Structures are given as structure tokens and as C-alpha cells.
Chain A
Amino acid sequence: MSSSPIAGNDSLVAVRDLAVRFATPAGPVLAVDGVSFDIMRGETLALVGESGSGKSTAALALMGMAGLSGKAAIEGRIALRLKKGNECDVNRLSARDLRQVRGNEIAMIFQEPMSSLNPVYTVASQIVEAITEHTKTTSAAAHARALELLHMMGIPNPAKCMISYPHQLSGGMRQRVMIAVALSCEPSLLVADEPTTALDVTIQAQIIALLKRVQTRTGMAILFITHNLGLAAEIADRAMVMYAGRMVEQGAVAEVFRNPRMPYTQVLLRSLPRLGRPREPGQKLEAIPGNVPSALKRPSGCAFHPRCTFMVQGQCDEHAPVIESCGPGHAVACLRWREIAAGRAA
């Protein structure tokens, strides 16, 4: 296909102009508004943004699952390179083909390890189920594979874990089991939607280390969703920042961290403590003034303008910035990024 956004480069997923609109009783909610991005093979892309910015919705759209929790209209193109080498548009797949993508090409782990496992089935049956759904194996082989996966997850007593029910496991153990479920069919992309938010700091670090180890071993790509930029820096190669359903900045992690161009990213960076780097005594966290805009009433122009210290009346509240390149592999959506970067803006 000549129009393929993927052809000829190394990207695994190429999302173009993705828009997800929910019909709610209060009116339409544009949860994702024209977002484009690529995920390269084997890379880790961090998706950062405040609550409600559309991170989960965008990620679910990759698996054709954005519309499952409500009535949704989904537009745009989600090109996915399949394991077999051919390419598909997730947005145009039949329900049957979508099921082949889910779990097999793209797997997902969620924020709540406590409720991610079905309380009435054992760990073994929940991993085996994922395996047998996509591969023709005997039940014995699937069990052996499940055991191996649990072992790989660093679970102390995998055989015992196999026959356990979810409520018998700790949060960290459950998240390990969830990762085992996700990895069972060797997906080429793992979507991790705030996988450590519900866990305490020590366990959080262990899970991050585990994800990194598994990635080195399998070469899968990870889309790591977090509202913690510090965590993004720990794990990701590239980062993209979403605000009110739009992508506002993306680039290599080091670049985005050293030279954040979008005022929102700058405030985010200043407002969040970093993993493993405790705040210095006396250093204060800068709170972002104002509130996250309601998804029902998105501010005109640049959606960030009511909270932006660089906002210029008649400009920022009227013209929506488009995403443009601001450096090698670095893009930003801000009308004044040049002035701000040059230190000319006030």
C-alpha cells in the first residue's frame, strides 16, 4: 500500500488524526482530538498527561476498545504492523480480526491490579485462557508456559501462585500475574496504563524493573501511560504529552526533559517529584494553577490558555496551535514556543 504511514520505516504503530468522541447525556465529549503519533518497534513511548486528558482512551483505541465502555465515534487511522509482517488499520478491522489483535499483537495491563483479575478463577486458568485463545496448544503445554511466565515474572513460588485465587495475592503479585497474562502470546506492543499507580513505591520500582527486563528479553514495544513525568523519564525512550485530548508535545525523553517547549510540559516537569530522586529539603512543588478543563467545555484556541502564564489575549484563546517541529524528533503545539524558547516571552 503506497499510502501506508508505516511502509518503509521501522514503526510498529502509526496513528494518524485519531479522534474519539463519546456521546454522553450531557453532550458529546471529545476525549481524543486529532492525535497522531508513531510507536517504533521495541521502543518505550511514555504517554503523559493529567487525569482526563484522554490517555486511556487513546491507548484503548489502539486495540479497538475505546468504544466498548460507551457510545463512541472513532475517526482516524491506526496502522498496525502485524507479527506476520503485513499491516492493518485497527479502525477498520472486523470484530473477529480485532480479537486476533487483542492479546496477540497488542496486550494491555491496567492500573488496578486488585480488580484486573477475575475473582472466581485461579491464576493458572486466567493465563492459560489467554494462551489458548490465540495458539493451538494442549492444555498441558499451556500450563507449562503459564508456569514459565510466572517464573519469569520473578514470582517466588510459581507453582503455588498458579493454583491461587486473586484475593490470595498481594497487589504487586497480581500485577506480576497481569503482566504474565499480557506477555503470554508474545505481543509486539504492551500498553501499560498506569501499571504502578496503585502500588507502593518499592513494589512500583520492582514492577518497572521487571517491565524493562522483559522488554530486553522479548523486544516488544511499550506504551507506558502515566501522569508522572519522572516515571516516564525512568522508563521511556520517547515521551508524548497530552492535554485535553490533544497532543501538545512529543520527543525523545532527554530532549523533552532538557528543553520542554510547551508551557504545560514545563509546569508538569516542575510540579512532579521524580522517582528515586527525593525532593531537596525546602524545595517546593509547583502546583499547576487552575483546573483541568471539563471535557464537555473545552477552552477555545489553545485548550491550555486559561492556565498558561504566557497566554496572550486575542491570540491563544482564538487560534488553536498545530503541532510543529521544534527540533530533531521534537514537536510542540504552542503558538509562542519560539518566543518562549528564546526567553523573549513574559
Chain B
Amino acid sequence: MITMIVRRLLTALPTIAASTALLFFSVTVILGSPAGMMLGQDASPQAIAALNEKYGFDRPALVQYGAWVANAFQGDLGRSFTTQQSVSRAITDCIPVTIELTLWSILLAASAAIVLNTIPVFKRTLTGATTLANLIGITVPNFMLGISLIFLFSVWLGWLPSNGWAPWSDGAGEHLRRMIMPVLTLSAYYFGAFSIVYRAEYRDVAQRMFIQVALAKGLSEWKVAFKHALPNAVLPVITFVGISMGQLTGGAVVTETVFSMPGTGRLFVSAISGHDFPVVLAVGMLVVTGVIVMNLLADIAYTIANPQIRFD
């Protein structure tokens, strides 16, 4: 298993390097001349030249890339073109928000999907309810769900504050109360998706002989479901959780926007619309690294959960 982790880490490094390069050059191509973008169409050639000089845009792309990588290794991701703020600073401000939102949401979605699809006794009544919830989670767009929640819990019932997000520094209670609706909103889709994957696998596992053997030992249906079926059916969910968390390092744009959360998703969107090259690049890198790291973690978790792989 250790060798597997080391091997995966070693392959992850070139992947990250290759994706940075790809990202760097494609962003350069897509966004075009940064100086022209920043100064607008009517800018004089002199002004553009001055800007090119200042940021080094006139250097060959490869040289620019080399400089970017060298700086990135020192934790310097450049300055935002629009706010002149340090990019690494902007990112480290956003990441905790996004990570927290992601963790709560995926945790809620995965545990609800697993538990609700494992409980044996009420199964017949529960299956219908869970299917409906899956359907809602997958089909209802996040902004609609978010707004409906605000309407229900803030406007109508008045249980939760509607005025956006509060940092931890406002107190844990304030912070967590404002976390509820975003988490519900974001987890809905993942609940549906995990549920479908888990349920399909669970049905397969339930047909396997060792389930009948476990029942023949005299174990209760609950014990058979949770102790014998669940660990065998959970593997694809682990992989899926890894993929989802990786993707979410780029932020949950819609949820963050609806609930005014300062996460990476919003940072990314405003950077793209403002042609803020260093920020776009930095968030892109974050997503690439996030995806790779989360997939690796998922593989490790998968291996731990599956003795068949663990001992080969």
C-alpha cells in the first residue's frame, strides 16, 4: 500500500506540472494581451508598452511561465490586475470558506445517502421518499433551491438569518447558523448523486451470498445491512466523494453567490469577468491540485476499506 501511495504521488507531480503549463498557455491565449484588456480598446500604444514593460508581458510566453513557476514556489502568485492585492493572499482568504462549505456539504450528502439507503426496516416507505429526494437534489438548480430555502427558513419561518455569510470571528453560533442553508443547498445535488451510485451498488451487494450467510448466522437485518452490506457497497461512493471534493476546491459558484460567501468560486468568476489573469491562473492551479490530491486521498481511503487491494 505504501508503494502504491508513493507511486501515485510521483505520478501526481508531473500531472500537476503539465496542467499548470497547459493552463498558463491556454489562459494566455484565451484572454489575449493582458495589457490591452486592462487598458481598454482606446489605450495608446505607449501606455500598453509601459504596462507590458511593468508586468513583463512582452517577454516570450515560456519565460513568463518560468518566472511564474519560480515565484509560485516562493508562495508569490503575483498581484491581481484589478485590485492590486496579493493573489496568494486573496486565495488564502477564500479557501477556508470554500473548504468548510465543501466539507460540511459532502459529509452531509454522503452520510445521508449511505444511511438512508441502508436502513432496512422502513425500507419500503423510505425508498420512495429517498428517490424523490434524489430527484429533487439532482434536477433542481442550486440557485432555485437556495432561494427557496431562504424564502422558507428566513422569510417565512424566520428561523435563520438571510443576510449572507458571517466569519468565525463573529462567533461560532452566528457563523454556523449562516452555514446551514448553503450546506443544504450544495449537498442536495451530491446527496442525489451519491444516493444513486450507492443504491445501485447496494442492490448488487445485497444479492451476494455472504449476505445470506450473515442472515443464516442469526444476525438482525440491521446488523446485516450496516455491518455486512454497507462496507461492501460504499467503495464507489468513496471514489465519487474524492472527485466531488476535488472539483469543489474551485468553489461552488452558485451557492457562494446566492449566500454571499467569499469563497474561491466567486473569486474565480469575478477574475474571469475582469480578465484578471494571475487570479484565474491561481484558482485554476488550485482546482487542478485539489482534484489530484482528493483523488489520491480517495484512492487511499478505498484501499483501506478494501482488503482485497490492501494485501495485493
B216: Cβ under 8 A from any A Cβ: yes
Contacting B at CB under 8 A, from A71-120, are: 99-104, 107-108, 110, 112, 115-120
Given the complex, which residues of A lie within 8 Å of B272, measured CB to CB? none
A181 close to B308 (CB less than 8 A): no
Whether A133 touches B217, Cβ cut-off 8 Å, given contacts A112-B209, A120-B231, A165-B308, is: yes
Whether A99 touches B311, Cβ cut-off 8 Å, given contacts A117-B210, A119-B232, A120-B231, is: no
Contacting B at CB under 8 A, from A163-183, are: 165, 167-168, 178, 181
Least Cβ–Cβ distance between A175 and chain B, in angstroms: 12
Given the complex, which residues of B lie within 8 Å of A117, measured CB to CB? 210, 213
A118 close to B217 (CB less than 8 A): no
CB closest residue in chain B, given A125 = B227
A134: Cβ under 8 A from any B Cβ: yes
A129: Cβ under 8 A from any B Cβ: yes
B306 close to A102 (CB less than 8 A): no
Docked pose: A119 CA to B305 CA in angstroms: 10
Tally of contact residues, B, Cβ under 8 A: 20
Docked pose: A12 CA to B76 CA in angstroms: 81
Given the complex, which residues of A lie within 8 Å of B208, measured CB to CB? 115
Whether A129 touches B219, Cβ cut-off 8 Å, given contacts A118-B232, A120-B232, is: yes
CB closest residue in chain B, given A99 = B218
Docked pose: A310 CA to B305 CA in angstroms: 60
CB closest residue in chain A, given B206 = A69
Given the complex, which residues of A lie within 8 Å of B231, measured CB to CB? 120
B308 close to A68 (CB less than 8 A): no
B218 close to A120 (CB less than 8 A): no
Chain A interface mostly: mixed
Docked pose: A104 CA to B219 CA in angstroms: 11
A130: Cβ under 8 A from any B Cβ: yes
B15: Cβ under 8 A from any A Cβ: no
B220: Cβ under 8 A from any A Cβ: yes
Chain B window 277-312, contacts with chain A (Cβ cutoff 8 Å), 1 for yes, 0 for no: 000000000000000000000000000011110010
Tally of contact residues, A, Cβ under 8 A: 29
B228 close to A118 (CB less than 8 A): yes
Least Cβ–Cβ distance between A221 and chain B, in angstroms: 16
Contacting A at CB under 8 A, from B195-229, are: 208-210, 212-220, 228
Docked pose: A310 CA to B301 CA in angstroms: 65
Least Cβ–Cβ distance between A282 and chain B, in angstroms: 40
Given the complex, which residues of B lie within 8 Å of A116, measured CB to CB? 209-210, 213
Docked pose: A167 CA to B311 CA in angstroms: 9
Given the complex, which residues of B lie within 8 Å of A119, measured CB to CB? 210, 232, 306-308
A20: Cβ under 8 A from any B Cβ: no
A101 close to B218 (CB less than 8 A): yes
CB closest residue in chain B, given A182 = B216
A242: Cβ under 8 A from any B Cβ: no
Least Cβ–Cβ distance between A121 and chain B, in angstroms: 8
Whether A103 touches B308, Cβ cut-off 8 Å, given contacts A116-B210, A181-B213, is: no
Docked pose: A2 CA to B208 CA in angstroms: 42
Docked pose: A104 CA to B213 CA in angstroms: 13
A32: Cβ under 8 A from any B Cβ: no
A110 close to B212 (CB less than 8 A): yes
B210 close to A65 (CB less than 8 A): no
CB closest residue in chain B, given A100 = B218
Contacting A at CB under 8 A, from B24-54, are: none
Partner of A110, one of B209, B306, B311: B209
Most buried by A among B218, B219, B306: B218
A63: Cβ under 8 A from any B Cβ: yes
Given the complex, which residues of A lie within 8 Å of B216, measured CB to CB? 63, 65, 102-103, 107-108
Given the complex, which residues of B lie within 8 Å of A100, measured CB to CB? 218
Docked pose: A22 CA to B12 CA in angstroms: 53
Whether A133 touches B212, Cβ cut-off 8 Å, given contacts A119-B307, A167-B307, is: no
Least Cβ–Cβ distance between B312 and chain A, in angstroms: 9
Chain A window 118-157, contacts with chain B (Cβ cutoff 8 Å), 1 for yes, 0 for no: 1110000000011001100000000000000000000000
CB closest residue in chain B, given A118 = B210
Whether A65 touches B213, Cβ cut-off 8 Å, given contacts A118-B232, A119-B307, A120-B306, is: no
- Which A residues lie at the B interface, using CB under 8 A? 63, 65, 68-69, 99-104, 107-108, 110, 112, 115-120, 129-130, 133-134, 165, 167-168, 178, 181
Question: What 3 pairs across the A-B complex have the smallest Cβ distances?
Answer: A103-B218, A102-B218, A115-B209
Given contacts A99-B218, A103-B218, A118-B214, 16 further A-B contacts (CB under 8 A): A63-B216, A65-B212, A69-B212, A102-B218, A110-B212, A115-B208, A116-B209, A116-B210, A118-B228, A118-B232, A119-B306, A120-B305, A120-B307, A130-B217, A134-B218, A181-B217
Residue pairs across A and B with Cβ atoms less than 8 A apart, 19 shown, are A63-B216, A65-B215, A68-B212, A102-B216, A103-B217, A112-B209, A115-B208, A115-B210, A116-B210, A119-B307, A120-B305, A120-B306, A133-B217, A133-B219, A165-B307, A165-B311, A167-B307, A167-B308, A178-B213
